[in-house]
Structure formats: C-alpha cells, structure tokens
Amino acid sequence: MKNPEATYIRRTPTSKKLWQKAQQHIPGGITANVKHYNPYPIFMKKAKGSKLYDVDDNEYIDYCLCYGPLILGHGHPTVTKAIKKQLDQKGTTTYGTPNEIETKMAKKIKQHVPCAKMIRFTNSGLEATLHAIRTARAHTKKPKIAKFEGHYHGAYDQVTISITPPLSQAGPNQAPIPVSNSAGLPRHILENTVVLPFNDLPNTEKLIKKHKNQLAAIIVEPVARGFIAPDIDFLKGLRTLTEENQIVLIFDEIMTGFRLGLGGAQKHFGVTPDMVALGKIIGGGLPAGAFAGKPEIMKVTSPLGSKHPYDHLFHSGTFSGCPIVLAAGLATIEELEKPRTYNHINWIAEEVKKCMNDVFDDYNIAAQAIGLGSMFQCLFTSQKRIRNYRDTAKADAQRRVNFDLELINNGVYVRPHKPFHTSLVHTKADLDKTFEAIKEATKTVAK
C-alpha cells in the first residue's frame, strides 16, 4: 500500500528543514496552531490565482484559501490595484484618524447584510466576536453568554470552550457540559458560558429558559464550522426565543459573510439576528473584522454623550479601520457584486463535492463531502445526516488526514482535516486536475 506520509516527506524536504529551523525561534515552528499538522506543515513561497507554490517548487491548486478569505484567489488584480492605489495616492499605510473609506465600507456592508445598521471595524474575526459579545453584555447588563457545542468564534477565553470536546467529557446530547478547549483558561469562564446543542430546538429552548435572566447573548455560527447547515426551523426558533427572552442574538458570519452570498447566512436563510460578527472576506486577504447590529444596541460603543469612560463600551484598536485593509475589502466586495460570480464559485464547489461523493461510492467507502455554497467538508463516516459537532466527531480523522496528504501529494492543497473553500479564479482545468487527485487519494485510502 502507498504511504501518503512517506511520499509527502519525500516531496517536501525544504519545508521540513525550514520548519525545524523555525522551531528554534517560534514554539512549534508555527505562528498559529491551526497551521500545524503531522508530519509538518508545508512552507509556501509564492502564490497566484488559484495556485500556491512551495519552497520545493511543488505547485498546488489551493482549496484552503487562507481558511476562506481569498474568495477571489491570490493576488487578484483588482484587489492589488486598490491596495497600490491607496499607498501611492495617499502616501501612507494608515492614519490613526478617521478616514472616509471607513464610512464607504460601512455603507457597503449595510447595503448587503440585513442586521448591519451600525458598524465598527476590528483587526480580526476574534476581536469582532469579542466586541459583539461585550456590546451585548453592556446593552442587556446581563453576565453570561451561550454558545453552541462545536462552534468556533476565535481563540479567547470566553469562547474557547467546547469547540472540539472529547465526547467522553462532553456530557449528555441534550445538555452539553462546557469543556475547556485550551490550557490556561480560568475556571470562572466555564461557569459563565452555557453550551447549547446545535440543530436541537427543544433542548436549546430548555437551556435558554433555565438561564434566560443571566444570558446577555447567544452566539451561533449559522452554518456550523462552515459546512453543517441549520434546520431553518431551528434558526427561526432561536430568533423567536432570543426575542422573547431579551437575549441578543449574534450571528458569527466570519465564515459565511460574503461567501454564502453578499448578504451572508442571514440573507440566505431569511433570519435576521440582532448583531453580526464579520471577518475574512471583508479584508480582501488582509487582517480584518467588524461587528455590527441594531442602532439601539451598537450605540453603547459611542463615546458621544457619556459622562465617564465606563458609561460606554471600551472598543479600541491601533489599526482598526486601516485604509489599506478596507480598500482591499471594498475592491473584493465590488468584484463579488458583478453578475454570476457566486454561480461560478459555487459551481466549482459543487463539482468537487460531486466528484468526491461519486468516487467514494465507486470504491464503496463510507465517506461524504457536505456543505453549502462554496464551503464544504469531507467526512469519513457512514452517518448519513450530519447535524452537529457530535456527528462529525465520530468520523475517521486519520483516514481523512491520509486522504488529504495524498491530495497534497497530487497537487491539491487543503489544510489536512479542515474544510475546503473555492474561489472565483478556480478553472475547469483546475477541476480536471482535482478530479484526478481525488481518484488517486481515494484509491490510496480505500486499501
């Protein structure tokens, strides 16, 4: 039998050397834990369009796209031009003062995202959810929040809970136990975060009712981890329950925003939350985030009219609203507004998913590619309907990693075990190569 890891090591010796060198200065040799996988991550040296090139001169069709933001691919000419124009004509990277592009971008987001009536910018998705949650607390004056098991909202204390809990520690399906997802989390955090079961309205309702007087906000990824669709009745029910109990409903649309269409998941499903956290695509490939919502909630961030600093919400950030970032984001959204862009991006995803599912069937392998629009995940499991984290946790993770390493060996890049994303610049020729890689990878893991 072919050994995917041995082939990977043979093809990427320079990456291995650079990774070992990096470890002398950087813990684990990586600057974000998501970048690590076994045996070691590949070091890229350049990229263009749908392609990545590594330090050993291997070429890859990129389906990671930096975990989603690069919906126009690498170095899209419109985005590059917008960044250069901002630098050349304005003479600086950032002002540290208000600038007009902030208002332009705020208006653009408002035009598309239903709940986004007032907007603040941040430098990352993590900051966006953090400030959305703080805003909800300031608005409701209640102490706790609720999140769903298996959902990710950034790597800070309040939400680094029950993202990937071992099932043996996660408690009953109907009332998950909050489990720390990181070393160093203070105990009180676990006491202030209620964990809810996704796509399970009756039990979510019970937990909301139990904690309603203490819950400031419920934060949810409307499409869990970018690929588990919500039952529409579940989303609608969540909307009704939060309204009835004076709880701020926050959609974390850092994945789905401007990917599941210009209006994100809230437009797609026709359910409007009170607040939204955005990131990834709105920075056009540069670090960005935003939190937005109803004026009566967002006004707590405004210093106007407050007598003391502690009367309003402390939201700051040296680089928030950085004009280069917003210029790149604006150019990206304007490109996405052109006709038929999403048709193409989604078509590429549909074709890759279909190929995977057909080939898995041909080889009689219990596996499936699932997802909406241009994001999908591949799970080696016989379970037919994937509805929440617990369903995904039962899949065969090692087989998936072998499949991914073999895709990489055949010129298709995905961060092993993570979802796939497609872009406007993936082509029919990319698809043909991808189909071949899927067949090879499936053949290997079938044995």
Is 280 designated active site? Answer: yes
| Under 8 Å between Cβ of 447 and 1 | yes
- The nearest distance, CB 191 to ligand PLP, in angstroms, is 23
Beta pairing partners, 121:
290
Closest distance between ligand PLP and the C-beta of residue 278, in Å? Answer: 10
Instruction: Determine which one of 54, 62, 200, 252 is catalytic.
Output: 252
Q: Which is nearer to ligand PLP, 176 or 283 (CB)?
A: 283
* Residue among 4 and 69 whose Cβ is closer to ligand PLP: 69
Q: From the candidates 8, 63, 67, 152, give the one annotated as an active-site residue.
A: 152
Nearer to ligand PLP, 189 or 366 (CB): 189
For residue 396, the tally of other CB atoms under 10 A from its CB is 17
C-beta nearest to ligand PLP: residue: 125
Is residue 233 classed exposed, middle or buried when 0-12, 13-18 and 19+ CB atoms within 10 A define those classes? exposed
Does 95 participate in catalysis according to the annotation?
no
C-beta of 423: minimal distance to ligand PLP in Å? Answer: 17
**Type of residue found at 322:** C
**Minimum gap (Å) between residue 133 Cβ and ligand PLP:** 12
The answer to whether residue 252 is catalytic is: yes
In the complex with ligand PLP, which residue's Cβ is closer, 4 or 226? 226
Residues that bind ligand PLP (CB under 6 A): 67, 124-126, 129, 152-154, 221, 252, 254-255, 279, 289
Q: Write down the least CB distance from residue 265 to ligand PLP, Å.
A: 11
Beta bridge partners of 250: 219, 275
Nearer of residues 8 and 269 to ligand PLP, judged by Cβ: 269
**Catalytic sites, residue numbers:** 152, 252, 280
